[in-house]
């Protein structure tokens, strides 16, 4: 199975090489934390959290076009959904192996980029809330939406609700809310 599909990622990013590099860099930085959260959920024998954490890893892997990593995360998500923690646990070494393969495709000099906010110097038109618990996904949404307005980020469902309530209380409601349906704390299901 393919480790990384660069053409797929570039197609989805409109050919933007710099954004591609940034997404890869963010994915490589964030994935170890996500894997550690998955391990904690397995240690606590919490199938629901295992399923959600694997779902987050699956989504981040898909966003970065990390094909083989996405497949293993899907297998863990399915095992968590079925309450089969033994299978999920047995796949942890595989997900770490697939992440190492992905990471090793890139040298540090290829992926380290500093990007400026694409909204710099532009007048904001919209108030936007991005409710997303996956770091890569919310960064990608931020990059895509920031030219259109001021973006706020909530990394779990409870914080998203609090941000909406506060905005309404201050008379500054959000014009656009982008939210992940499955999030930590409170999800949209």
- How high is the pLDDT of residue 119? 36
Q: Which fold has domain 6-111?
A: 1.20.120
Residues of the chain with CATH 3.40.50.2300: 126-179
pLDDT at 124: 42
**CA dihedral sign of residues 60, 62, 64, 66:** positive
The boundaries of every CATH 1.20.120.160 domain in the chain are 6-111
Note the pLDDT of residue 179. Answer: 86
Beta bridge partners of residue 163, listed in sequence order: none
Return the pLDDT at 113: 38
**Which residue positions in the chain have pLDDT lower than 70?**
107-124, 184-185, 187-189
Cα distance between residue 133 and residue 172, in whole Å: 23
pLDDT of residue 185: 66
- CATH architecture classification, 126-179: 3-Layer(aba) Sandwich (3.40)
Q: How far apart are CA 101 and CA 70, in angstroms?
A: 13
pTM of the entire predicted model: 0.66
Task: Give the per-residue pLDDT at 121.
Answer: 44
């Amino acid at each position: 199975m393919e480790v990384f599909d660069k053409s797929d990622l570039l197609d989805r990013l409109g050919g933007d090489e710099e954004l591609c590099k940034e997404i890869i860099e963010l994915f490589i930085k964030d994935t170890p934390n996500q894997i550690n959260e998955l391990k904690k959920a397995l240690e606590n024998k919490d199938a629901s959290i295992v399923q959600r954490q694997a779902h987050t890893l699956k989504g981040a892997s898909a966003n970065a076009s990390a094909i083989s990593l996405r497949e293993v995360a899907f297998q863990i998500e399915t095992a968590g959904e079925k309450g089969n923690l033994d299978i999920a646990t047995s796949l942890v070494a595989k997900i770490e192996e697939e992440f190492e393969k992905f990471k090793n495709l890139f040298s540090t000099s290829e992926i380290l980029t500093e990007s400026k906010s694409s909204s710099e110097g532009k007048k904001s038109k919209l108030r936007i809330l991005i409710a997303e618990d996956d770091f890569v996904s919310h960064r990608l949404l931020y990059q895509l939406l920031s030219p259109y307005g001021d973006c706020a980020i909530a990394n779990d469902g409870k914080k998203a609700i609090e941000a909406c309530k506060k905005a309404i209380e201050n008379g500054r409601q959000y014009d656009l809310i982008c939210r992940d349906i499955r999030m930590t704390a409170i999800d949209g299901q």
